[in-house]
Structure 1
Amino acid sequence: MRHKVKAPFRRWMYVVLFLTASVLVLSGCADSKETTGAEGEGKLKITTTTGMIADVAANIGGAYVDVTGLMGSGVDPHLYKATQGDIRKLDDADIIFFNGLHLEGKMTEMFDKMAEKKTVVAVSEQLPESALRTDGSGVHDPHIWFNVRNWISAAEVIRDTLMEQDPEHADAYRTQAEAYLAELEQLDTYVSEQIASIPEADRVLVTAHDAFGYFGDAYGIQVMGLQGISTASEYGSKDVANLRDYLVDNKIKAVFVESSVPKKSIEAVIEGAAKLGHEVKIGGELFSDALGPSGTEEGTYIGMVRHNVDTIAAALK
């Protein structure tokens, strides 16, 4: 036989349950707010593709942004495929910054779709056509960051986007951008001086793929790569032989490997030159499509560029 609860008691029980639930909800909200605050409540959530872009966004955004870069040290953006975790990070972002000019390959299609519901910006968007390099087929070279002046333009795009999306902190973004842009101006001067210190006849930079074209044009050094502007392009025995012969004929003494490209491609050229009696050494490792490890000098854009130019100058002098 079931025991019936008398109406007055039942009403009292409902009141107790309601009050208990309310306390739990309020407690949960308090815990949630505290946790969110610790993780960056109120900050703009920014997701970027490359580490170079993430570094600029963090410098300009400062304490008002949370920045997540998808591509870490040693990652080749030309061949990168977004994971489910990456897609979640992109979905959660308030702003997505990417390089553009097809550096990110098929991810561009995904960015086009996401742009329908959130702010998605290519940092290369303000560069005029006259500032862009193209290969023989008319495809734009995406490695714009190797001309520091191009990267100043990218930083300005990031600054303007942050100011537009978060006008409350616009003054802070402007001030932080001014300080960072001043550092980039100094970097541009430093790179010019270092390359100018190399004897003109020795200003030849040979790497695994043609990532340094903007660098060569801007700072007066001849650049040659075994592969094209994308590592997705294949190289063959003819490419190896042509580059080998160039090294031998011009008595080039040093070539460079890249952190995001397997060494075997450039090692094949070195071995070919050795068989012809010409010794070529590896002048050092350069960071081309990705920053160095997090927490190191090369893990920042400015540190990466300084490392590259110091390595090139030391080997070619």
Structure 2
Amino acid sequence: MQRRRDGWMARAAVMAVGLALTSVAPAAPSVLATTGMVADLVDRIGGECIETEALMGPGIDPHLYRAAASDVQAFQSASLIAYNGLGLEGQLDSVLRRFGERRPTLAVAEAAAAAGPVDLIQTDGDGAPDPHVWMDAALWSQAITPTVEALRQVVPDCTAGLRERASALREQLSALDAWMRASIASIPAGQRVLLTAHDAFGYYGRAYDIEVRGIQGISTTAEASVADIQANARLIAERGLPALFVESTINPRTVDAVVAAARERGAEVVIGDTLYGDALGESGTLADSLPGLLIHNTAAITRELGGERAPLPAALSDWRAPLRARHGGE
């Protein structure tokens, strides 16, 4: 009897300690972001005040993503839902709009466009604007203030920290914007053409003065035709382009077809290093954050097209630090 009573008391003590720890360290409010780019922005500003989760991981194409029942449950339990908007999330868009009628939501790309004078790139398809605004570091930085305001509603006690981290991120994106511009400018003018599997780099091309061609359209739901393949092969041959690129979320078959067609025309062209368009890279790689994605892409484009990458400025010397600190020094 005494042994049984002692065991019960020991279990009760463990339960009491667990309850005490729970009361001392409550879970931080959660933010569910659709893409890795949106999650990175929210995470860098929210810091330790929030828990951020990305719905779509590396290699996931948001244009084709379909919501599962578990996603709806995750939306319902999130303190804030952050998404890109402008139609990027495809079939998930209507779900997000419905949740926006009854839960706190933030359409990050739409907020960035509304925060300053900017002309969204219009598409030739259904009339929706190009949603890939994160490819322009200066334009993406316009989403910082709206993100701070959305997070303040969730964690008002963290306002000072939110604003401090936002200021640091704004400085980093400004330095990154200048570095990207200098690197792309080093590419010989005749070769300054970015040919990719799908047209995700419109804002990048406009901001950094490089002609952009996509074999597929803005959305990966579009299929490249034989005429598209031949037109891009002709472009490679006529302009003497040394490389074209495929993004991490795209099947490379159309790029392979363009390379074969270009070689039939006597053009020597290679497929350059993989670019990251609609998703971040795997954890631990350079492209596992938005600044890293832009650094990786710009370095690869500059190198493969015959330019020379500019030295990274001092403001970018610790651009990985916030995420390392947040995730235990990884």
> Which of the five TM-score ranges fits, normalised by the shorter chain?
0.7 to 0.9
Change (3 A) 1:29 1:110: farther
Rounded to whole Å, the distance in 2 between the matches of 1:277 and 1:74 is 33
Rounded to whole Å, the distance in 2 between the matches of 1:135 and 1:83 is 29
1:209, distance to aligned residue in structure 2 (A)? 0.5
Residue equivalent to 1:9: none
Residue equivalent to 1:131: 119
- For residues 40-69 of structure 1, what are the alpha-carbon distances to aligned partners after superposition, in whole Å with 9 as ceiling and x for unaligned? x25221000000111111111111100000
Contact 2:64 2:91 in 1 (8 A): no
Normalised by the length of structure 1, the TM-score is 0.87
Letter in 2 for 1:31: G
Residue equivalent to 1:34: 21
Identity %: 36
Change (3 A) 1:136 1:58: same
- For residues 238-277 of structure 1, what are the alpha-carbon distances to aligned partners after superposition, in whole Å with 9 as ceiling and x for unaligned? 1111111111122212101111101111110000111121
Contact 1:192 1:219 in 2 (8 A): yes
Rounded to whole Å, the distance in 1 between the matches of 2:172 and 2:251 is 32
How many pairs were matched up?
293
Q: Which 10-residue stretch deviates more, 233-242 or 210-219?
A: 233-242
Determine if the alignment matches structure 1 residue 121 to structure 2 residue 109: no
User: Aligned to 2:215, what secondary structure does the other structure show?
Assistant: strand
- Structure 1 gaps, min length 5: 1-19
- For residues 61-83 of structure 1, what are the alpha-carbon distances to aligned partners after superposition, in whole Å with 9 as ceiling and x for unaligned? 11110000011111111001122
**How do 1:172-251 and structure 2 match up within 5 A?**
172-251=161-240
Letter in 2 for 1:51: G
Change (3 A) 1:77 1:32: farther
Determine if the alignment matches structure 1 residue 151 to structure 2 residue 140: yes
Contact 1:164 1:170 in 2 (8 A): no
Rounded to whole Å, the distance in 1 between the matches of 2:92 and 2:173 is 29
Determine if the alignment matches structure 1 residue 51 to structure 2 residue 40: no
Change (3 A) 1:37 1:194: farther
Change (3 A) 1:243 1:33: farther
Residue equivalent to 1:67: 52
Q: Which has the larger radius of gyration?
A: 1
User: Aligned to 2:200, what secondary structure does the other structure show?
Assistant: coil
Residue equivalent to 1:160: 149
- For residues 211-263 of structure 1, what are the alpha-carbon distances to aligned partners after superposition, in whole Å with 9 as ceiling and x for unaligned? 00000000100000000000011211111111111111222121011111011
Which 4+ residue blocks in structure 1 deviate beyond 6 angstroms? Answer: none
Residue equivalent to 1:5: none
